Chain A
Amino acid sequence: MLRDVLGRGDLRRIVLSGFGVGLAAATCLLERRPQAKE
C-alpha cells in the first residue's frame, strides 16, 4: 500500500496506476521532493 511506503527513504520514484471503472486508467510518477541535486 502507498501509505506503507511513504516514509521509506530508500525509495525515490514510485509509479501509481489505477484502472477499471469507466473504462479508465490513470498513471502517475511520484518522486521524493525536494531532492538533492545529483
Chain B
Amino acid sequence: MIGIAHIAAYIPDGRIDNRARCAEFGVDEAFLAGKIGVERVARRAEGEDTADLCEKAFARLRQETALDPAAIDCLVVVTQNPQGSGLPHTSSILHGRLGLPPHCACWDISLGCSGFVHGLAIVRSFMEAQGLRTGLLFTADPYSKIVDPHDRNTAMIFGDGAAVALLAPATAAAPLFAPVASRFHTEGARHRALENRAGVLSMDGRAVFNFSATAVPRQIDELLAGLGLARGDVDLYLLHQGSRYIASASRPRKCRWGWPITGIWSRRRSP
C-alpha cells in the first residue's frame, strides 16, 4: 500500500504583517486572531514563480531524506497558479529542472484547498495501478500573483508557498500513513464564490463558509460511517481552509483537530 513517507516545505522568507494592516481593512486584532487566524502572510521574492517554489521544496526533501531522483516514477503538481502562462505544465518544467528520468510521468492538477486530498487519492491510485514505487506530490501556490493587496476578503488570507509529499510503499520496517478511503464533493453551480476574475482573485466568504459548514461535517461523517468508524475512532482531524473561522465551523465537535497553517494551528480537544 502506498503511503506518505515524508513531507518537505518551502515558505518564502518575505512576510506581510496582518496586524499592521488591521486599520486599513477595518478589523481589530481580536477579529484577526479569532476569525481570520493569520498573523503574517508569506510572500515570494520578486521573480520567484511556481516551479521555483517547488524546486526549493524539493531541495529540502533531498536534504531530509535519502531520495534518489533517478528512482522517481511520477511527479504531480497541484496548483491554481501555474508557472508562467500555464503552458507547458509546471510539472514538466520541474521535471526538466530536477533532472528526473524519462520514465517519470508528470502532470498538473488544477485545484485549490481540496487539492492535496484529491492529489493524494489520484497519485496513490495511479501508482498502485501501475506498480510504481516512488512518487512526488507537490502543492504550490504563489497566490500573490493574483491577490489584490487591498482586498480585505483575500489579502489577509492567501500566502505563497510550496510543499512536496514523498509517496512510497509502506513496509513492516517502515509503516507509513496511507490513505484508506476518500470522499469527494463538488458544487460547481456555485463555483463563482471563489474565482480568478481577469487576473484578480475574488472571494465570496459567506458562500464559502456556508458550503464548508454544511458539506464538510457531512462528508466526514459519511466517510467514517462507510468504514464502520465513529468520530472518536480518529486520533486527529486536520482541516485545510484559508480562514480559521471556516475551518473551526467545519470541524467535527468534541474531537482533536488542527488547522494546518504554519505557526498558528491548534491541536486540542474541543469543548
Which A residues fall within an 8 A CB radius of B? 1-3, 5-6, 10-35
Contacts and interface: CB of A to CB of B under 8 A. Distances in A.
Interface in B244-271: 250, 258, 260-262, 265
B234 A15 contact: yes
Interface stretch (B14-22, B93-101, B126-134, B190-198): B190-198
Given A16-B238, A23-B191, A3 B8 contact: yes
A8 to B, nearest CB: 9
Interface stretch (B23-31, B46-54, B83-91, B220-228): B220-228
A31 B156 CA distance: 34
Contact of B236 (A11, A18, A34): A11
B212 A14 contact: no
Contacts of B186: 22-25
A16 B114 CA distance: 10
Chain B: interface residue count, which band? 35 or more
A11 to B, nearest CB: 4
Contacts of B181: 28-29
10 contacts: A1-B265, A13-B229, A15-B224, A16-B238, A20-B212, A22-B111, A23-B207, A23-B211, A25-B184, A26-B182
A23 B219 CA distance: 14
A21 B1 CA distance: 30
A7 to B, nearest CB: 9
Given A17-B117, A30-B178, A33-B176, A3 B237 contact: no
A27 B20 CA distance: 35
Nearest to B175: A32
A29 to B, nearest CB: 5
Contacts of B116: 16, 18
B4 A6 contact: yes
Interface in B162-221: 163, 170-172, 175-188, 190-191, 193-194, 207-208, 211-212, 215-216, 219-220
Contacts of A25: 114, 184-186, 211-212, 215-216, 219
Contacts of B185: 24-26
Contacts of A20: 112-114, 194, 208, 212, 241-242
A21 B112 contact: yes
A15 B114 contact: no
Given A16-B116, A16-B117, A27-B223, A21 B111 contact: yes
B131 to A, nearest CB: 18
